[in-house]
Amino acid sequence: MSEVFEGYERQYCEASASLTRKCTAAAALQGEKLKQKAAEIKSGIDGAEALIRKMDLEARNLQPSIRAGLLAKIREYKSDLNNLKGALKRITSGNAQQGAREELLESGMADALGVSADQRSRLLRATERQNQTTDRLRDSHRTMLETEDLGVSILHDLSQQRQSLLHAHRVLDDVDVNVGKSRRIIGGMVRTMDRNKWIISLIIAILVLAILVILYFKFVR
C-alpha cells in the first residue's frame, strides 16, 4: 500500500472519530452554540471529503491488484461520511424543538452514530488486514529482489570464472605453440649437429689419408 494513501487514511479515521464526538455533543446544544458547533462539524466534514478525494486519486494511480481493495475501503469511508452528514442534518433540522433534539439524541442519533462506529470498526479491521496483506506482499517483493540480486551475483561469479578458464585455455594454447616451436628448433639443431659431425669426420678422414700419402712418398720413394 502507498504510504501517501496510509497517511490520508489515518487522517480520515482521526477526523471521523472527532466528528462523531462533535455530533454527539452538538445534539445537546441549542441556539447560537448549536449553530457554531454545526458550522465546525460542517467544516470538518468538508475536510474529510477532501481526504477521501485524495485517497481516491492516490488509489487510482496504484497497481490494479492493490487498487481494487483500496477503492472498496474508500466506498466504506464515503458511506461513513454520509452517515455523519445525515446526523448533522437531523441535529440542525431539529433546532426548532428541543424535544426533537432530545429524541434524536436518544434514538436516531444513537443509531446513526452506532452504525458509524460499527463501520469504522469494520473499516479499521479491513485496513489492518489490508496492511498485513501489503506487508506480506512487500516481504515477498523484498525476498524476490534479494533472490534476484543473489542470482545476478552468481552469474557474475560464473562469468568471471569463465573468463579465467578462457584465459587459462589461451595460455595453454600459447604454451603448446611455443613447445612446438622449441621442438622444431631443437630438431633443427640436432640435425645440424649430426651433419656437422659427419663433415668433421670426413675432414678428419681426408687429413689422415693425406698424411698417409705424404708419409708413403717420403719414406718409400
Among 56, 50, 94, residue whose Cα is nearest residue 73: 56
Cα(2)–Cα(59) distance, rounded to whole angstroms? 8
pTM of the model: 0.45
Mean pLDDT for 149-153 is 79
Question: What would the mean pLDDT of 165-189 be, rounded to a whole number?
Answer: 84
pLDDT for 53 equals 92
Tell me, what's the pLDDT at 54?
A: 92
Per-residue pLDDT band for 130 (boundaries 50, 70, 90) equals low
The residue-averaged pLDDT of 85-89 equals: 88
Q: Report the pLDDT value the prediction gives residue 217, as an integer from 0 to 100.
A: 81
Tell whether the model's pLDDT for residue 159 goes beyond 90.
no
Q: How confident is the model at residue 116 (pLDDT cuts 50, 70, 90)?
A: low
Tell me the domains of the chain and their CATH numbers.
Answer: 1-104 (1.20.58.400)
**Residues 27 and 101: beta-carbon distance below 8 Å:** yes
Extract the C-alpha cell encoding 120: 469504522
Chain centroid, CA 160 distance in Å: 27
User: Burial letters for 35-49: b for 16+ Cβ neighbours within 10 Å, e otherwise?
Assistant: eebbeebeebbeebb
Helix (H, G, I), strand (E, B) or coil at 95: coil
